[in-house]
Amino acid sequence: MLAPRQMSRLLIAGTKEQMGAVIAELYRHRLFHIEDFVGQEEYAGFKLGMPLAGATEASNDLITIRAATNAFGVQTDGAPHGRPVSGSELRRQLQTELPELDAQADELVTRRTRLETRAKDLESRSAELEPFAALPIDLDLYRGYESIAVLAGHLPTDVAITAQHEKAFFGDKKGGFIAVFTPIADREAVERQLLDAGFSAVRIPDETGPAADAIARYRAEQASSEKEVEGINRQLGNLKEIHASFLLAADELLTTDVERAEAPLRFAVTDLAFVAEGWAPTSEVPEITAALERVTQGRIHVEELAIDYDHDAVPVEYNNPSFSHPTELLMDVYSRPNYREVDPTLLVSIVFPVFFGIILGDVGYGLILLALSFLLRKYLAGEAGKLLLDNLRNASISSTIFGLIYSEIFGFALPWKPLVFSRHLNIGGEAHGHGPDAASMLIIAIWIGILHITLGRLISVVNHSRMDHGRHRIQAVIAQLGWLAFMWGLLIVIWSMFPIPFMPNLGAVGGPIVLGLNLAGVLGAVMILLGVVAVGQENALELVELPTVVSHVLSYARLVAVGLSSVAIAMVVNYIALGMFINPALENLTPVGIVLILVGIVVLLLGHTLNTALGILGGGLHSIRLHYVEFFTKFYKGGGKKYNPFGMKRLYTTEE
């Protein structure tokens, strides 16, 4: 909790004969994050390992399998199709079935490509002939003259040609088509006149007989090609039905083969021995060690190395209660935590839904979003989609709870008074009581900001004292405390000067001492001064950032402001739909009134759909922004490397 899973740096050394068994065992456990060998200094005399026997064959087979998978259009959605098959059985099947399957897929795809090319060719030919069909001239009459030139092409409107000629023109709204027969001597003059009128020539097709007949012939041929393509697609579809699970399982099996066979490429080897370095969760080290000793009959050396945090990039695996798992997605969008800093995932997983609820506190919208978070599961496949919807689920539950507290459902009031603060606006004279407690809520939002930012700075103190060294550590910790002193000093000065509801009133603490400041005011001013000095001693440039203390705290006012605007939209929609269309029409029901009621219902549905979408954006984006910009900038470094253990989660196959 609040820290990533503890990792140990392991060194595994053994003789080359053991390498295969060790790799297989590590792969099976899926715990060892391999640190690639890149020719480090301490490994003088070692070189990169060579792939195990069978790597090339497995890679080739894998390429074949993937080609067939593509040809059949098999989707790898990460969901197992029925029972996993055993690896050894699948291997036998691969020997017999793969060549045949490959040939089948190859033949079908080649034939399909040929037919598709043919259909395209035929289509372009009939398109070429199309304009000639409008002219009453057989296609063989356009060719074969010695003294006559033939010009054919598109022309917007018919044109009078002065030179000696015969012509045929067909025109409609979309433009015209002209064929001109002229003695070769006059060709240039005719061409110039045509070009002036906007003529664009086309090639005369190499065909005989009426153009319409040729077009019909080509069209028929094209249709039969397309039908054949359809047939092939159906065949491929059938093959997909039959072979999909085999292909997916074979893909998985061969991928594991290739990954295992190529693992030595990441190891350091000599002629007789190999050394692998990497990471494993500390709690699992005894299990890995025992397993490796078992498969090698004790002829293996596993050693835990000291971690040098300045040079080693320790892989980071989240270590959170299951409740916080969805939030890890939001963390990874920003950056995975560094191994040694406080992992704020747990805090975010609690505070994010609360912020969402404060902004979008409405029972109606909350329940709609809750339903959406379950209904969308079908369409958003994959791990990330699932986590995103889990986040939406948590947020919408919080939204519903806050809706009960605010007494709001689609902008209407629930049968009880708001438990804490009222967000009911006076729109259309519907509201009761004294209107929204905007000012009080804004002050509470500011309080949330003050506390959230203080928490961020305190975490930063912990981080700096953990991760920095020597003089810089002390400087950094003092600077962080300086930021806190500056913020709270400013608050105390304000409290000593202005009485603010829900905040301490320090105006009565002693009389004025200097510059109209009372005792509390002077204390606050001293804190501000100390804060400035503390921040400046670490880095004078940071002083430029001091005003952000004010803007970041005030930024939390959005929790109320965005929420109130969402309530306002809901109430305006209700007022337009009910107050202006439906209610007046219901009082005196006429045919026009029924139309008005329908319009009102449409406005109601559209308005609330829009507001739900805005609610997700407003609630989600603003809540996460408060974390990313206002909270994380105080302490969070990130940049941790993802823990990516050697091995694969098997979905379609079982161990051999």
List residues near another protein by CB under 8 A. Answer: 333-335, 435-436, 438-439, 442, 551, 554-555, 557-558, 560-562, 564-565, 621-622, 625, 628-629
200's tokens: 């664009």
Nearer Cβ to another protein (340/625): 625
Say what angle helices 327-334 and 383-406 make with each other, to 10 degrees.
110
Whole-number minimum distance, CB 427 to another protein, in Å? 12
Shortest distance in whole angstroms from residue 557 CB to another protein: 5
Pick between residue 482 and residue 563 the one whose CB is nearest to another protein.
Answer: 563
Please provide the distance, in angstroms rounded to a whole number, between the alpha carbons at the two ends of the chain.
Answer: 37
What is the maximum alpha-carbon separation in the chain?
119
Minimum CB distance to another protein, residue 436 (Å): 6
Are 369 and 616 in contact by the 8 Å Cβ rule? The answer is yes
Q: How far is the CB of 421 from another protein (least distance, A)?
A: 12
Nearer to another protein, 112 or 424 (CB): 424
At residue 457, what is the residue type? R
Comparison of 307 and 614: residue with beta carbon closer to another protein: 614
Write down the least CB distance from residue 434 to another protein, Å. 9
Residue 250 or 491: which CB sits closer to another protein?
Answer: 491
Bridge partners (DSSP) listed for residue 166: 181
Least distance between another protein and beta carbon 20 (Å): 36
List, in sequence order, every beta strand (DSSP E) within 475-523. Answer: none
> Which amino acid belongs to residue 599?
V
Instruction: Name every residue whose Cβ is closer than 8 Å to that of residue 349 and which is 6 or more positions away in sequence.
Output: 320, 323, 324, 326, 327, 394
At 603, list the tokens. 């406005």
Closest contact distance (angstroms) between CB of 569 and another protein is 13
User: According to DSSP H, which parts of 311-436 are helical?
Assistant: 327-334, 345-359, 363-375, 383-406
440 token code pair: 């009080």
Strands annotated E in 49-174: 85-86, 148-155, 166-172
Nearer to another protein, 165 or 627 (CB): 627
Q: What is the DSSP string of 219-237?
A: HHHHHHHHHHHHHHHHHHH
Pick between residue 180 and residue 560 the one whose CB is nearest to another protein: 560
**Least Cβ distance, residue 526 to another protein (angstroms):** 29
**Residue nearer to another protein on the CB measure, 378 or 434:** 434
The minimum distance between CB 572 and another protein, in angstroms, equals: 14
- Crossing angle for the helix pair 438-467 and 345-359, nearest 10 degrees? 170
Residue 27 vs 628, nearer CB to another protein: 628
Distance of CA 398 to the CA centre of its chain: 24
Q: Given the complex with another protein, which of 98 and 425 has the nearer CB atom?
A: 425
For 147, counting Cβ atoms within 10 Å of its Cβ (0-12 exposed, 13-18 middle, 19+ buried), the class is exposed
Residue 298 amino acid letter: G
Q: Which is nearer to another protein, 104 or 623 (CB)?
A: 623
Radius of gyration of the chain from Cα atoms?
A: 38
Residue 585 CB, nearest approach to another protein (Å): 30
Which residues lie closer than 8 Å to 278 by C-beta, 6 or more apart? 9, 10, 12, 32, 33, 34, 35, 646
Closer Cβ to another protein, 138 or 430, answer by number: 430
Q: Give whichever of 187 and 625 is closer to another protein, judged by the CB atom.
A: 625
Q: Which is nearer to another protein, 15 or 633 (CB)?
A: 633
Tell the smallest beta-carbon distance from residue 425 to another protein (Å): 8
Q: What's the closest the beta carbon of residue 564 comes to another protein, in angstroms?
A: 6
**In one letter, which amino acid is 460?**
S
Neighbours of 164 (CB within 10 A): 12
Residues 6+ apart with CB under 8 A from 577: 600, 601, 603, 604, 607
Min CB(334)–another protein separation in Å: 4
SS3 28: helix
Q: Which two tokens stand for residue 127?
A: 């398109």
| CB-neighbour burial class of residue 429 (10 A; exposed 0-12, middle 13-18, buried 19+) | exposed
Considering beta carbons, is residue 449 or 521 the nearer one to another protein?
Answer: 449
Cβ 582 to another protein shortest distance, Å: 27
User: Smallest Cα–Cα separation from 381: which of 616, 78, 69?
Assistant: 78
Environment class of 498 (CB within 10 Å of its CB; exposed 0-12, middle 13-18, buried 19+):
exposed
Query: Dihedral of CA 578/583/586/589: which sign?
Result: negative
| Contacts of residue 121, Cβ cutoff 8 Å, sequence gap at least 6 | none
In sequence order, the β-bridge partners of residue 170 are 177
Measured from the CB atom, is 18 or 555 closer to another protein? 555
Return the closest-CA partner of residue 488 out of 516, 518, 447.
447
Provide the minimum distance between the beta carbon of 428 and another protein in the complex, in angstroms, as a whole number. Answer: 15
Whether the Cβ atoms of residue 582 and residue 601 lie closer than 8 Å to each other: yes
Identity of residue 474: I
Taking the complex as a whole, how short is the minimal distance between the CB of residue 458 and another protein, in angstroms? 22
User: What DSSP letter does each residue of 316-345 carry, written as one string?
Assistant: E-----GGGTTHHHHHHHH-PPPTTS--TH
